[in-house]
Amino acid sequence: MSSLETGIDIVKVHDDEHEHHEQNFWRKYVFSEDHKVIAKQYLITGIMWAFIGIAMSVIFRLQLGFPGIDISWLRPVLGQWIDETGKLDPNFYLALVTMHGTIMVFFVLTAGLSGTFSNFLIPLQIGARDMASGFLNMLSYWFFFTASVIMFSSLFLQTGPASGGWVIYPPLNALPQASIGSQGGMTLWLISMSLFIVSQLLGGINYITTVINLRTRGMSFNRLPLTIWAFLITAILGLISFPVLFSAALLLIFDRQFGTSFYLSEIYINGEALPNVGGSPILFQHLFWFLGHPEVYIVLLPALGITSEIIATNARKPIFGYRAMIASLIGIAFLSFIVWAHHMFVTGMNPFLGSVFMFLTLIIAVPSAVKAFNYTTTLWRGNIVFTPAMLFSIGLVSLFVTGGLTGIILGNSALDIQLHDTYFVVAHFHIVMGAASAFGLFAGVYHWFPKMFGRMMNNALGQIHFWLTFVGVYLVFFPMHYTGIAGFPRRYYSFTSYEFTKSFTDLNAFITIAAILTFLAQWIFLWNFFYSIFKGRKAPQNPWRSNTLEWTAPIHPGHGNWVGDIPAVYRWPYDYSKPGAPEDFIPQTVPYSQTPESNLPHENEEIAMEKEIEAQNYNDQFKNAH
Amino acid sequence: MVYIIGFLTLVFLVLTIMVIARLQNVLKGVKSDDKTDGTPPGNRLNANLFILFTILSILGVIFTYVSAKADFLPEASSIHGRRVDDLFWFSMGVLAIPFLIVNFLLFFFSYKYQYKPGRKATFYPENHRLEIIWTAIPAVVMALLVFTGWRAWSDITSDAPSDSEVIEIVGKQFNWIVRYGGVENNQLGNYNYKLIDAQNEIGIDLTDENSLDDFTNNTEIHIPVGRPVLLKIRARDVLHSVFIPHMRVKMDAVPGMPTRFWFVADKTTNEIRAELGDPDFDYELACTEICGRGHFAMRMRVIVEDEASYRKWVSEQKTFLQTYPAYLAKVPDNLKAKAMKYLPAEPTAAPADSTTAQAPDAAAAAPGASASLR
């Protein structure tokens, strides 16, 4: 009975059933268990955080570009943090740097990117009604939301938010007397991050379970879109590494509140020798970077997955080397766990360990290189449509290459001696992790906006946004390599105290101007995003002529995503421009038996499997008791 | 520098204007009718912009590099520093190749294979030989870089030669303090963080014979030229990091865990001043691990001088005991006689001695010292 027309004949039955599920406003839009609504909640929270985080960077860039600049016009916002002469307070400068890092890494690029697209795409692309546990999923968002509120409220403390750098190394961040940011601000930071970790773990468990258990009929692992592969591997990374950050944070809380000595030893501060002995600040760094390095990939891998999907769709070509792409994802993910100490070459760690970690770190360049080459080859002899999503994906690959290559320099412990904690590092990770992942976020929003809101974003504005952002990012971060080579240390309030940092004043001013322009360009996106939600052109069923499963769902998918049965899947998601096929795409739901003209020899053999696929159970959560 | 800014601003402006102007037309085009020949709106323009971007960014990279080069640090003044620099520029040279090739191909393919009505993309899902080649090449290059890097790293971090000049450097919020082994035996004495107070800033332990002739300095560190210098690094409150940019020296200062770094400075301050034609040039020592409000201003002058003037400078320094004679109270009885040598010749030292001789443990005799003893 379950015919290949993907159950259109059963529409009516389910429509009736659906009526009973109508929920009130609170359950539908606020405490929703629907993965699509939760995804939008993540996205909008992420966008709000992004604007706050970038605005912070603009403020401290003003101080760096124009040392001692009079910013008393910001007094209505910053109040006491601007002194009588209109200068930014050095303590608050550090707080801004710290909050910028925390917000962008965790709240924007982890929650905003992974939270949005894992939630939105996993059920839609694997053919599931919803996440494995809608309730845990809802809980995950609200833990994140609570963490957000707490972090945000720390901005308003009299002593300011945390200011010891986003890596919160003790003892600076363990001792309230060491810095005012280590007082109430740090307490709230730790509470907020602990809740955030809980949120990530709840989300991650859900993503993994859903991908493993709820794939539709025929959706074997070798037919999963690369987005899903990336989300799955990201979730596994997070599940393994976030608990370690939690333990690091917990021990820090103990040191701060209960007088333990995990990270403290032989400290004399504020005229007082502390009783703590035997602790090790290095221990914290090991624990932190055991999360911290995988975190880089937690941020980046979803962006790479999104890019894979978008580049294939818009180049109208299969992604080159599907299996190699999966293998390199897994390779990067595995290696990301055994390279953490490359952040610690000059911390006094045993030099032998430095050699080991240098070796392991440079291996990671190999799977990364494979990915870059495969993206480029995918473009080769394509038929490229420059949607804004495609532009951002191409931009991502460029940034990934440019920023990744300088990582090979920094991963080399001998070279890291000079470059560690200079602007070279800042340039490196902002390009490869910050900007590249942000480009992934933009690409994803432009690409799946029609599925999220049933409307299209403005194409021309998207293209303008891309070019301004792409050029802007390079203008901001490329020159930072030069200041890094000249030895400029990061997290400096000003470069006026040393002779060797007296140069490059013009370049620093230039970077600041470029940063402001790039920030302004983001308002184009913001306008486009919110305007299009309400007034955008109505989206067609499959605007990008894409193969993946989400475009077979209704334009406004309801709770449960598909009306009637969940479609079955017969082929991989990258049958673009297949020779012999009438169209330049063949959706995953089209069986080989319907496309004899374009089947490759081994695919004809799979026709026999179709009966088997159809005979499988529906794996439909809504059909079973729930 | 002004040129770079001008140039880059121009690039940015031109791009902005072009994009906006051209897309205005596109916008109009969208409104009038969506598909004239099936080419998606703005496609050709974006393809062309990729070429423009490629050309401008290549020019930009070359131009900015050339002008920025003038402001890079001068040639390293330490032996390992030059080795590191050579390795750095060698690696950068190697990496510039994939940087240029991949970015160029990426943008060029974007242009070349832009959408053309009626054309069909090539179905080209994989090519194992190609993939093996471009897995192998990076692997080999990485092996090369790892090997050279590892050699350099092992040499730099090897044990310091036994004839090294040992200098202790301590980071605190927000300055550095150096301690020298002294005029007599040139051995650093013990320390204990619990002995720290307002005068004894780094907790010199005066019960150790070697401490008696130690001297400290809060503003400058002198090092001999052409001889290994071993920095024994520690921190007394939070993390700091010793950074001597011109020597390519960097190592964290960690409370509770002494670290070390050794190097050979082979260009005196005078030599580099002459070389740069800048009579005011000074080597500097900075902090590169965030340590609080004053992190950006922990400057210490580094003075590299020849052996003779270094020795002369050392001999002229006042020992810690000379500066703070009251601390004689902390010296155990059996070392008192020896300690007297390092006291100032004035008679004021004597009373301090006699009052405390009876009760060596009575720290109260030295008011400053007692503050934090517990």
Burial of A5 from C-beta contacts in 10 A (0-12 / 13-18 / 19+): exposed
> For A560-573, how does the pLDDT look when each residue is reduced to its tens digit (9 = 90+)?
899 888 999 999 99
DSSP letter at B107? H
Least confident segment among A598-607, B172-181, B231-240: A598-607
| Nearest CB to B121 within list A272, A475, A577 | A577
Q: Between chains, do A373 and B107 touch, taking CB under 8 Å as contact?
A: no
What's the pLDDT score for residue A6?
Answer: 42
Q: Between chains, do B103 and A506 touch, taking CB under 8 Å as contact?
A: no
| Nearest CB to B15 within list A264, A373, A471 | A471
Asked if A93 contacts A100 with a C-beta cutoff of 8 angstroms, the reply is: no
The residue-averaged pLDDT of B65-71 equals 93
> For A297-332, how does the pLDDT look when each residue is reduced to its tens digit (9 = 90+)?
999 999 999 999 999 999 999 999 999 999 999 999
Beta bridge partners of A484: none
How far out from the chain centre does Cα B363 lie? 40
Identity of the residue numbered A57? S
- What is the distance between the alpha carbons of residues B335 and B327, in angstroms, rounded to a whole number? 13
Higher pLDDT, A382 or B362: A382
Best of B25, B28, B110, B201 to mutate (most A CBs within 10 Å, chain A) = B110
- Measured in degrees and rounded to the nearest 5, phi and psi for residue A563 equal -85, 130
In total, the C-beta contacts within 8 angstroms joining chain A to chain B are: 392
Residue of chain A whose Cα is closest to the Cα of B44: A386
Burial of A278 from C-beta contacts in 10 A (0-12 / 13-18 / 19+): exposed
Instruction: Enumerate the residues of chain A whose CB falls inside 8 A of the CB of residue B26.
Output: 460, 463
What's the pLDDT score for residue B24?
Answer: 61
**Interacting residues of A209 by C-beta distance below 8 A, sequence separation 6+:** A132, A133
Instruction: Enumerate the residues of chain B whose CB falls inside 8 A of the CB of residue A420.
Output: 250, 288
At A79 the three-state DSSP class reads: helix
Asked if A411 contacts A428 with a C-beta cutoff of 8 angstroms, the reply is: no
- What is the distance between the alpha carbons of residues A121 and A228, in angstroms, rounded to a whole number? 8
**DSSP secondary structure letters along A494-533:** -S-S-STTSS-HHHHHHHHHHHHHHHHHHHHHHHHHHHHH
Best of A391, A500, A599 to mutate (most B CBs within 10 Å, chain B) = A500
Q: Which of A109, A118, A145 is nearest to A35 (CA)?
A: A118
Asked if A440 contacts A116 with a C-beta cutoff of 8 angstroms, the reply is: no
- What is the distance between the alpha carbons of residues B314 and B305, in angstroms, rounded to a whole number? 12
| Nearest CB to B113 within list A319, A381, A475 | A381
What's the pLDDT score for residue B368?
Answer: 40
Q: Taking all residues of chain B, what is their mean pLDDT, rounded to a whole number?
A: 86
Higher pLDDT, B259 or B365: B259
The residue-averaged pLDDT of A335-349 equals 94
Best of A159, A467, A494, A585 to mutate (most B CBs within 10 Å, chain B) = A467
Domains (range + CATH), chain B: 42-116+144-158 (no CATH), 165-326 (2.60.40.420)
> For B122-171, how does the pLDDT look when each residue is reduced to its tens digit (9 = 90+)?
999 989 999 999 999 999 999 999 999 999 999 999 999 999 999 999 99
Asked if A240 contacts A204 with a C-beta cutoff of 8 angstroms, the reply is: no
How far out from the chain centre does Cα A46 lie? 10
The residue-averaged pLDDT of B87-101 equals 95
What's the pLDDT score for residue B339?
Answer: 84
Q: Between chains, do A384 and B113 touch, taking CB under 8 Å as contact?
A: yes
> Shortest Cα distance from A281 to chain B (angstroms)?
7
The residue-averaged pLDDT of B353-365 equals 41
What's the pLDDT score for residue B15?
Answer: 67
Q: Between chains, do A381 and B122 touch, taking CB under 8 Å as contact?
A: yes
> For A101-122, how does the pLDDT look when each residue is reduced to its tens digit (9 = 90+)?
999 999 999 999 999 999 999 9
- What is the distance between the alpha carbons of residues B100 and B97, in angstroms, rounded to a whole number? 5
The residue-averaged pLDDT of B37-51 equals 89
Given a cut of 70, whether residue A11 has pLDDT beyond it is no
Q: Between chains, do A408 and B91 touch, taking CB under 8 Å as contact?
A: yes
pLDDT-derived band of residue B355, with 50, 70 and 90 as boundaries?
very low
Instruction: Enumerate the residues of chain B whose CB falls inside 8 A of the CB of residue A517.
Output: 12
Q: Between chains, do A485 and B241 touch, taking CB under 8 Å as contact?
A: no
Asked if A433 contacts A403 with a C-beta cutoff of 8 angstroms, the reply is: yes
**DSSP secondary structure letters along A311-368:** HHHHHTSPPTTHHHHHHHHHHHHHHGGG-GGGG-TTTT--HHHHHHHHHHHHHTHHHH
Given a cut of 70, whether residue A61 has pLDDT beyond it is yes
Beta bridge partners of A404: none
At B74 the three-state DSSP class reads: coil
> Shortest Cα distance from B140 to chain A (angstroms)?
10
Asked if B155 contacts B214 with a C-beta cutoff of 8 angstroms, the reply is: no
DSSP letter at B248? T
Given a cut of 80, whether residue B369 has pLDDT beyond it is no
| Nearest CB to A273 within list B15, B106, B196 | B196
| Nearest CB to A351 within list B131, B153, B291 | B153
Given a cut of 80, whether residue B36 has pLDDT beyond it is no
Given a cut of 60, whether residue A352 has pLDDT beyond it is yes
Higher pLDDT, B297 or A617: B297
- What is the distance between the alpha carbons of residues A157 and A160, in angstroms, rounded to a whole number? 5
Tally of CA atoms within 13 A in the half-sphere of B74 that contains its CB = 18
The residue-averaged pLDDT of B28-57 equals 78
| Nearest CB to A397 within list B5, B106, B233 | B106
pLDDT-derived band of residue B374, with 50, 70 and 90 as boundaries?
very low
Q: What proportion of chain B, given as a percentage, has pLDDT over 90?
A: 70
Instruction: Enumerate the residues of chain B whose CB falls inside 8 A of the CB of residue A346.
Output: 241, 250-252
The residue-averaged pLDDT of A27-34 equals 88
What's the pLDDT score for residue A356?
Answer: 94
Q: In which element (H, E) is residue B269 found?
A: helix B269-276
Best of B296, B372, B373 to mutate (most A CBs within 10 Å, chain A) = B296
Residue of chain B whose Cα is closest to the Cα of A576: B123
Q: Between chains, do B109 and A487 touch, taking CB under 8 Å as contact?
A: no
What's the pLDDT score for residue A320?
Answer: 95
- What is the distance between the alpha carbons of residues A306 and A440, in angstroms, rounded to a whole number? 6
Given a cut of 50, whether residue B359 has pLDDT beyond it is no
> For B316-327, how does the pLDDT look when each residue is reduced to its tens digit (9 = 90+)?
999 999 899 899
- What is the distance between the alpha carbons of residues B3 and B114, in angstroms, rounded to a whole number? 35
Instruction: Enumerate the residues of chain A whose CB falls inside 8 A of the CB of residue B194.
Output: 268, 273
Q: Between chains, do B1 and A504 touch, taking CB under 8 Å as contact?
A: yes
* SS3 letters across A447-497: HHHHHHHCECCCHHHHHHHHHHHHHHHHHHHHHHHHHHHCCCECCCCCCCC
Instruction: Enumerate the residues of chain A whose CB falls inside 8 A of the CB of residue B46.
Output: 386, 391, 463
| Nearest CB to A384 within list B95, B110, B245 | B110
| Nearest CB to B95 within list A373, A408, A419 | A408
Asked if A444 contacts A109 with a C-beta cutoff of 8 angstroms, the reply is: no
Identity of the residue numbered B70? A
Q: Between chains, do A267 and B236 touch, taking CB under 8 Å as contact?
A: yes
Tally of CA atoms within 13 A in the half-sphere of A32 that contains its CB = 23
DSSP letter at B254? B
> Shortest Cα distance from A622 to chain B (angstroms)?
36
Given a cut of 60, whether residue A12 has pLDDT beyond it is no
Higher pLDDT, A273 or A621: A273
Q: Between chains, do B284 and A471 touch, taking CB under 8 Å as contact?
A: no
> For A238-272, how does the pLDDT look when each residue is reduced to its tens digit (9 = 90+)?
999 999 999 999 999 999 999 999 999 999 999 99
Given a cut of 90, whether residue B34 has pLDDT beyond it is no
Instruction: Enumerate the residues of chain B whose CB falls inside 8 A of the CB of residue A363.
Output: 142
Instruction: Enumerate the residues of chain A whose CB falls inside 8 A of the CB of residue B150.
Output: 355, 358-359, 413-414
Higher pLDDT, B338 or B129: B129
What's the pLDDT score for residue A519?
Answer: 96
Instruction: Enumerate the residues of chain B whose CB falls inside 8 A of the CB of residue A319.
Output: 125
What's the pLDDT score for residue B8?
Answer: 63
What's the pLDDT score for residue B19?
Answer: 66
pLDDT-derived band of residue A216, with 50, 70 and 90 as boundaries?
very high
Beta bridge partners of B167: B180, B231
Q: State yes or no: cis peptide before A171, omega within 30 of 0.
A: yes
What value of ipTM does the predicted structure carry? 0.91
What's the pLDDT score for residue B1?
Answer: 54
- Measured in degrees and rounded to the nearest 5, phi and psi for residue A472 equal -60, -45
> For B209-250, how does the pLDDT look when each residue is reduced to its tens digit (9 = 90+)?
999 989 999 999 999 999 999 999 999 999 999 999 999 999
